[in-house]
Each structure stands twice: as C-alpha cells, then as structure tokens.
C-alpha cells in the first residue's frame, strides 16, 4: 500500500527543493574554504569553475532524486500485476461520472422495430410459441396459436435475447398479454415473470420466459404479446413482440379470412394494407469468414428487406372493404381477405398483411394457406 504523501505533488516538489539546496550549500562551503585559505588566483579560478559545475550538478541531482522518488511512489501505489513487471498503470484511483456505465439490450423479435429498419416481418413470431402444460415426463406438446380451445390452460413461451456484449440483466419483468385476433385491438394482461439474462453469447443467453394462460370462455381467435420491461435499455424499441396467426385450407382454390381492424388512437387515421409473402425466418448457421462464393452480411440482410417478397405471380389477395380507408377514433371495421391460389401447396405457405396508419406500422397478421 503506497504512502499518502506519494500522491501529493507538493511533497514531491519539497523533496526536489531540499535536494537542490543541499548540493548548493555544499558547493558554497567548498568555495568559502578556498577563498579563506587564499591559496592563489589560480586556485580561486578553479574553485569558481567548481562552483558553476556544482550549481548545474545541484539541478541535475535534484531532478534525478525527484524522478526516482516519483517512480518509487508509482510502483508502491500500482496494483499487483505479477512479479518483475515494470508496466506503468497510471494513478491507483480514478473518478468516473455516475452516468458512464454499460447498458444492456434485452430484445425479442419485434415487428415494429424491424419494420422501422426497412425489413420485412412475419406475425408468426419465431420467439413466441404455445404448448400444452408439461406432461408427467416433462414434455410439452406444441399448440398452434390459430387453433386454441376455450377455457383451456396453455403455456406461452418467449425467447429473450441480449444485444449487449458487456451488460447483463438481472430480475427483468416480462409481461404477457393477449389481444382479440386482429389489428389495433385492446390488450388484456395475462401475467408477469422475472428473468435474468446474461451477456450476448454467454451461458444463459438467450433465456426463456413462460406464463400459463387460461383462454377466455368465449370461443374466438386471439393473439399473444410479450413485452420486456427494462427502462434503462440501450434500445427500447425492440422490447415488444406479437404472435398473430390464422390458418385456413384452400377450397377450390380460395380461402377466406376475416379479422377486425381498430383505430386505437385519439385522432382520425388513414389506413393502408399491404400484402407480401415473406416467410417465417429460420436461424442461420454460424457465419463463415467472407470469401469467394460466400454471402456477405449485407447480402444475407438483403433477403429480408421490406418489399423483396411479393406474392407469386399466380396468387392474388382481394381485401374488402378496401386496401385503403379512414377510421375515426375508436372506430372498428372488419377486413375480409380472400386468397386465391390456383396450384396445390405441399405445405402451408404464409401471406402477411401489414397495416399502416398514416405511414406508421399499426399491426398486422400472418395468414397460412394449405391445400
């Protein structure tokens, strides 16, 4: 542990002054002895030269003593870094403002955030899924959110990620809620679970949150929302994800879907509906180093751009009452989507309907059709 005086520059300046005065006093003493003995002009000249050298030596010696003393203080005050090290670590203490710290970035697949980045989205959320309650062997059978029974207890699962490499999350509330199937519906709370989230890439990231949910007694179609509550977040816009899916079988060769759209704002809004065939994203393999024939990051991202997934040429979707309309505050209308697919589908294929209110994403649904 270093001496308290080592860190005081006034103490070090005092040592320098004392060393210089000591050497100066010694030089003056030698000069006065030569002058008193009166041994001749030549000796007096020699003593004068010695006095000049003594003054320069006093300054040099004082600087040397100061440097050695300062180095000794630094070595005694430095944290241990192994025997024999001479690395300069700087002051043993530092002051940092309370506002300088690392922020975590808890996130979930968030349609509104991804759309704001110019990316296409699916409302079949890859980070939200439903299952039956655990069986006696611990297994949980998956359940499609489009075919839920009334008055039945299900388990909602949510996969939570952290975009930060440096800051974990402790005790973060994860809120679960549901909406009546549609766009702009009123949210009903289900429950909250607190989770811990490690830094990106560490054990414990991503982590899973879950909540048991008994569906309403009224038969119908519902969508699930998951909200991450962490005010001190590096990015607050990616904390809300939604699962909003319906599945229908094609009937020579059409399928009809119906869902409500509500203006939940306090002002009149103009709505515009857009249709695309963006599929549910699949997690990529571990990235490989860039090289000939290997896709770069921007090329992989281009495959998810908004507007890059039009309907196949033979497909069509008619929207009623229209693809554009205006709603007053609190007003609601039923949208009917008639999908026409002439070919046979070996597996369900998605159709996404995104609703924009005055140019801002208001919500959407993903419709699956199959033969």
pLDDT digits (tens, 9 = 90+) for 105-123: 999 999 999 999 999 999 9
| CB contact at 8 A, 197 and 276 | no
The 10 Å Cβ neighbour count of residue 39 is 13
Per-residue exposure over 311-321, b if at least 16 CB sit within 10 Å of its own CB, e if not? eeeebebebee
What percentage of the chain carries pLDDT values higher than 70? 76
Q: Which two tokens stand for residue 205?
A: 């990231």
Q: Which two tokens stand for residue 204?
A: 């414990």
Model pLDDT, residue 264:
87
7: closest CA among 81, 85, 94, 86? 94
For residue 102, with 0-12 CB atoms within 10 Å meaning exposed, 13-18 middle and 19 or more buried, which class applies?
Answer: exposed
Model pLDDT, residue 40:
56
Model pLDDT, residue 1:
46
The domain made up of 106-279+305-370 is a member of CATH 2.40.50.140? no
pTM above 0.75, yes or no: no
Residues of the chain with pLDDT under 70: 1-9, 12, 16, 19-20, 23-51, 53-54, 76-100, 284-299
| Cβ partners under 8 Å of residue 202, min gap 6 | 168
Three-state SS for 108? coil
Domain extents for the chain?
A: 4-77, 106-279+305-370
Model pLDDT, residue 37:
64
The beta-strand segments (E) located in 59-121 are: 106-107
For residue 235, with 0-12 CB atoms within 10 Å meaning exposed, 13-18 middle and 19 or more buried, which class applies?
Answer: middle
| CB contact at 8 A, 3 and 73 | yes
Model pLDDT, residue 73:
73
The rounded distance, in Å, linking the Cα atoms of 193 and 210 is 7
Model pLDDT, residue 289:
57
């Amino acid at each position: 542990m270093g001496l308290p005086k080592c860190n005081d520059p006034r103490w070090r300046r005092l040592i320098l002054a004392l060393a210089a005065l000591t050497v100066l006093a010694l030089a003056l003493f030698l000069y006065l002895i030569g002058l008193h003995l009166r041994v001749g002009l030549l000796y007096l000249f020699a003593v004068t030269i010695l006095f000049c050298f003594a003054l320069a030596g006093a300054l040099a010696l004082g600087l040397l003593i100061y440097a050695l003393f300062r180095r000794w203080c630094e070595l005694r005050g430095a944290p241990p870094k192994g025997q024999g090290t001479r690395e300069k670590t700087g002051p043993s203490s530092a002051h940092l403002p309370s506002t300088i710290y690392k922020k975590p970035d808890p996130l979930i697949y968030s349609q509104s955030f991804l759309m704001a980045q110019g990316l296409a989205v699916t409302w079949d959320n890859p980070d939200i899924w439903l299952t039956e309650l655990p069986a006696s062997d611990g297994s949980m059978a998956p359940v499609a959110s489009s075919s839920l029974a009334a008055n039945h207890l299900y388990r909602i699962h949510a996969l939570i990620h952290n975009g930060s490499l440096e800051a974990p999350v402790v005790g973060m509330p994860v809120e679960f809620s549901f909406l009546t199937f549609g766009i702009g519906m009123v949210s009903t709370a289900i429950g909250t679970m607190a989770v811990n989230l490690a830094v990106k890439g560490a054990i414990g990231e991503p982590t899973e949150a879950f909540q048991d949910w008994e569906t309403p007694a009224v038969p119908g179609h519902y969508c699930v929302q998951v909200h991450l509550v962490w005010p001190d977040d590096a990015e607050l816009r990616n904390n809300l994800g939604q699962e909003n899916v319906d599945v229908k079988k094609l009937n020579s060769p059409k399928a009809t879907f119906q869902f409500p759209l509500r203006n939940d704002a306090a002002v009149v809004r103009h709505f515009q509906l857009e249709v695309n065939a963006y599929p549910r994203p699949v997690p990529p393999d571990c990235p490989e180093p860039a090289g000939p024939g290997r896709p770069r990051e921007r090329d992989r991202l281009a495959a998810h751009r908004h507007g890059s997934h039009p309907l196949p040429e033979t497909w069509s979707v008619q929207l009623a009452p229209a693809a554009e309309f205006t709603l007053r505050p609190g007003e609601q209308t039923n949208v009917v989507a008639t999908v026409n697919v002439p070919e046979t589908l070996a597996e369900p294929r998605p159709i996404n309907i995104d609703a924009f209110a005055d140019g801002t994403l208001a919500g959407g649904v993903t419709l699956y059709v199959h033969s």
